[in-house]
Amino acid sequence: MGEDSGHKGSEDLAGALRPIASTLVLSQHARPAVAKVLDPIGRALLRLGLTPDSVTVIGTVGVSAAALILYPRGSLLAGTLVIAVFALADSIDGTMARLSGRSSRWGAFLDSVLDRVSDAAIFGGLTLWFVAEGSTWGVPLSLAALVLGQLVSYTRARAEGLGAEASVGLAERAERLILVLLAAAAVGLGLPAAVLVAAMGVLVVLSAITVGQRVVVVWRQLHEPSSEPAEG
């Protein structure tokens, strides 16, 4: 495949994947528009007897299987497309919970935990691909992106456990996944592996900055005069 066709293919795929990947974390303004698409799907799944929790689990299993089976084999494009489809479950389960009145703290907890599993599978699968390719920079960068991505999520969860807010930063989960999925798909379409290595490098930098931003924000909140010192 020629370089021009590779660039065109990656641009076309970017347009196709962006709305799917962006449903992983939706802004308040985007939710009404996306709800028009997801509500009928959610109602259909509820009629089939599926629960929001079961859809969450199915989505995680699908994403993890695609990442850990297809990525290490070098099927980057196929793996990305399968992951993008199953990633929709991350929005559909919330839609189903809303439609059925089954929203609960347990569902939110399960969704958050399984998000970490999906992320680990995606970056783990790409790390295995880098190992197979003998990439000097790809392996450490993808591992660093995996660790820092988990740390981004942990800093927010830990902050909220202490009564603080830490929903700031350059690299939220949606942005991280959009970048890595598009880069993986572009390489699957014929672009050099260096594209994915560079994407991992960018993720490492952005995730590190995000962790720093959240640490600073939480430090300020917990050191305000009205803040109670935390124990433990």
DSSP annotation string for 34-98: HHHHHHHHHHHHHHTT--HHHHHHHHHHHHHHIIIIITTTT-HHHHHHHHHHHHTHHHHHHHHHH
Can you tell me which residue has the tokens 């935390």?
230
C-alpha torsion angle, residues 132, 205, 15, 9 (rounded to 10): -40
Point out the catalytic residue in the list 90, 111, 115, 119.
Answer: 115
Amino acid at 89: A
Q: On the CB side of 79, how many CA atoms lie within 13 Å of its CA?
A: 29
Residue 105, Cβ neighbours under 10 Å: how many? 7
Residue 115 falls in the annotated catalytic set? yes
3-state secondary structure of 137: coil
Enzyme catalytic residues: 115
